[in-house]
Amino acid sequence: MTTKIPPADVLRDLHFRMVRIRVFEEAAGKLMESGTIPGALHLYVGQEAVAAGMCAALRDDDEITSTHRGHGHLVAKGGDFHSMFAELFARSTGANRGKGGSMHICDFSIGMLGANGIVGGGAPIAVGAAFANRYLGSDRVAVSFFGDGASNEGSVHESANMAGLWKLPCVFVCENNGYAEFTAQAAHQPIADIAERAAGWGMVGEIVDGMDAVAVWQAATEAVARARAGEGPTLIEAKTYRFYDHVGVKGMRIPYRTQEEVDTWIERDPIQALERLLQEQAVMSRDEIGEVRDRVSAEVAIAIEHAEASPSPDPSELLTDVYTEVV
C-alpha cells in the first residue's frame, strides 16, 4: 500500500491523539514508580501511532476492546483524563468507580468496551459486539486490539474464525511489538508475519508500519469502510515497539532485549516522525506543536489533582455495578 498524506485536519487529529497518550502515560508511569498509584501499569509509550491511527478512522459510536496495555486505546477513543486517573488511583470518581483499575478500565459511553487482563480476552467481546450490531441493523463497527502473544490464543482464533465465516463488521488489530511479555516472537511463533493467519480466518490481512500514524490511519480507514459495507472483517498487523518494559518504566530488569535494540526503535519515535511531517507540510509550526503538549500537560496535571482529592469507594458499594440484575 502506498501511503498518501491525508488532509491537514486528519494530521492534526492524529498528532493530538498521540500526544494525549504519551503525556498521560509518562505521568502515570512516574506515579506508579513513586508508589503513588497502586499496582502495576502496562504503559503504551512507543505504540501511540496504532491506537491513534485506528481510532481516528472510527466514528464516536463505533466500539473497541482492549488489552492489559489499554490506556492508549481509551485515550485515543476520547477517554477523559479525570475519570482515567481517578480509576488508576482507585477512587470513586474513576471510570469504573475505582473497581476496575488499569487492566480493566472501560468507558461504554464512548464505545470502549474494556481493557482486559486476560490475554486475548477482548476478541470474543468485540466479535459479540459486531454480531449484535449486525443483528440490530446498525452499521457500527467493532475493533479488537490484541498483541502478538494473544494471536496464539484459542479465544482469538475462534473469534476471528466466526467473524470471517459470518462476515461480521469487525477489525482485528494485532499490535506486534515483538514480545509476548518477555518472550521474543520467534520463540513462540513459527511465522514472522501474523497477518498470514488472515487467510485461514477468511479475511483480508495487511501488514502496516505501526510507527507511522498515517499508514495505520490509511489501513484502518479502508478496513473500517470494508466492515461497514458488509464486506467482512480485516486483520491489520501493526509492527510496533514498546519503549518501556513490560510493566512500568523501569521494568523488572529481566535481560530479554538489548539497549541497542531499544534505542534503534526509539529513533523511530512515531510522534517525532509525525511532527516532522506536520512541519514539512506546513500544517503546524514548532511553536504550535509545543503548545499542544503544554495544553495536554496542563490537562493531565489538573486531572491528577482531581484524582488525589477524590474519595475512595464506599465499602457499602462493594458489589454495586459488579453484577447485572436479571429482570
In 3D space, the residue among 105, 125, 102 whose CA is nearest the CA of residue 172 turns out to be: 125
User: Does the residue 79 lie in any domain?
Assistant: yes
| E-strand stretches of the chain | 63-65, 142-147, 170-176, 179-180, 183-184, 204-209, 234-239
> Is the confidence at residue 217, as pLDDT, over 70?
yes
User: Does the residue 134 lie in any domain?
Assistant: yes
Q: For the chain, what is the mean pLDDT?
A: 95
Q: For residues 321 and 114, what is the distance between their CA atoms, to the nearest angstrom?
A: 14
Q: Return the pLDDT at 310.
A: 96
Q: Return the pLDDT at 325.
A: 76
Q: Return the pLDDT at 252.
A: 64
> Is the confidence at residue 131, as pLDDT, over 90?
yes
Q: How many domains does the chain have?
A: 1
Q: pLDDT band for 153, please (50, 70, 90 cuts).
A: very high
Q: Return the pLDDT at 150.
A: 96
Q: What are phi and psi of 85, to 5 degrees?
A: -65, -40
Domain around 79:
8-311
Q: Return the pLDDT at 326.
A: 73
Return the exposure string of 168-198: e unless at least 16 CB atoms fall within 10 Å of the residue's CB, then b: bbbbbbbbbbbbbbeeebeeebeeeebbebb
Q: pLDDT band for 242, please (50, 70, 90 cuts).
A: very high
Q: What's the average model confidence in pLDDT over 249-276?
A: 91
Q: pLDDT band for 1, please (50, 70, 90 cuts).
A: low
Q: pLDDT band for 322, please (50, 70, 90 cuts).
A: confident
User: Does the residue 300 lie in any domain?
Assistant: yes
Is residue 113 a contact partner of residue 141, using CB atoms and an 8 Å limit?
no
User: Does the residue 100 lie in any domain?
Assistant: yes
In 3D space, the residue among 27, 25, 31 whose CA is nearest the CA of residue 52 turns out to be: 25
Three cell numbers, residue 258:
538489548
Q: What is the CATH number of the domain that holds 224?
A: 3.40.50.970
- Residue 6 CB neighbour total at 10 angstroms: 16
Q: Is residue 325 packed enough to be buried (19+ CB in 10 Å), middle (13-18) or exposed (0-12)? A: exposed
Q: What are phi and psi of 107, to 5 degrees?
A: -155, 95
User: Does the residue 319 lie in any domain?
Assistant: no
Percent over 70 (pLDDT), the chain: 98
User: Does the residue 80 lie in any domain?
Assistant: yes
User: Does the residue 1 lie in any domain?
Assistant: no
User: Does the residue 43 lie in any domain?
Assistant: yes
